[in-house]
Amino acid sequence: MSTHGPAVFVHGGPETSAVWSMLLKELDRDDIICLSPPGFGAPLRDGFDVSLDGYLDWLVACLEEFKQPVDLVGHDYGALHVFNLAMNRPDLIRSWVCDAIGVFHPDYEWHALARMVQTPGEGERFVEDKLQASLEEHIANCREWGVGEPIATRLAAGFDEHMWRAVLSLYRSAAQPALAQAGQKASAAAARPGLALFVTDDLLTGTHDMRQEMATEAGAEVAVLDDAGHWWMADAPAVGAEILNDFWARLP
């Protein structure tokens, strides 16, 4: 009988669980569940708190449904949810993996697109443009962001009004100094084995030094994934899976 729960994957935004599709085929386990944060491939119910804290409450509620602690993996904003959970409710997990740990560093500055979304007026215009865009335009945007096929088309198909409006509220809830303040609890994440994934060509998640400092504070292992970008699970799914398989194999 297994002594732990499944591997639970949480994606970011604007994304859907399709972002994991190539990676999951390479993993050495079949107890895999993909959770879709409300608004990002899942319905955004009325009254849901679209904020860093709101999604923490959502993830806590999801993981409390499992009978045993899970292996939690997060990408992009999903990585923020994962690390936030690891800092606040480590009892719900056996392990955690985060590819964006550097954003919790006190010196981290949001990338240009996020700052635009966080700016009153500019953010609303960005969302309205996205709401009026065609599927073909969404696919082209995904490719411009560095997402290859077939994932670009699958992601674009999930873009809807709920997602873009959630993006606006979510990114604004995490405007600095909110992330830096949340990251002050980083040492609490050391209560469970953690893995900080450093993707060398990902320019959105802080500098190498920021990642290293936060990983050290969180007591996490570090794995470097070379020659891959922000969407490493599409760029190098076999290498990414090898890193995860090795990490899980060494857990107590």
Can you tell me the distance from the alpha carbon of 137 to that of 76, in angstroms, rounded to the nearest whole number? 22
Domain ranges of the chain: 7-249
Q: Are 105 and 206 within 8 A, CB to CB?
A: yes
* Nearest CA among 179, 155, 159, 163 for reference residue 230: 155
For residue range 89-147, what is the model confidence (pLDDT) as tens digits? 999 999 999 999 999 999 999 999 899 999 999 999 998 999 899 999 999 988 988 88
- 7-249 in CATH: which number? 3.40.50.1820
pLDDT at residue 147, rounded to an integer: 85
What pLDDT score does 3 carry?
A: 78
Q: What is the pLDDT of residue 42?
A: 94
Q: Quick check: helix, strand or coil at residue 135?
A: helix
Strand, coil or helix: what is 79? helix
Residues 6+ apart with CB under 8 A from 131: 161, 164
The residue type found at 153 is T
- pLDDT value at position 1? 55
pLDDT of residue 77: 95
Q: What is the pLDDT of residue 83?
A: 98
Cα gap 25→29, rounded to integer Å = 9
Name 198's bridge partners: 224
Of 180, 153, 54, 167, give the one whose Cα is nearest residue 113: 167
pLDDT in single tens digits along all 252 residues of the chain: 577 899 999 999 899 999 999 999 999 999 999 999 999 999 898 899 999 999 999 999 999 999 999 999 999 999 999 999 999 999 999 999 999 999 999 999 999 989 999 999 999 999 899 989 999 999 998 898 888 888 889 988 989 988 988 999 999 999 999 999 999 999 999 999 999 999 999 989 999 999 999 999 999 999 999 989 999 998 899 999 999 999 999 998
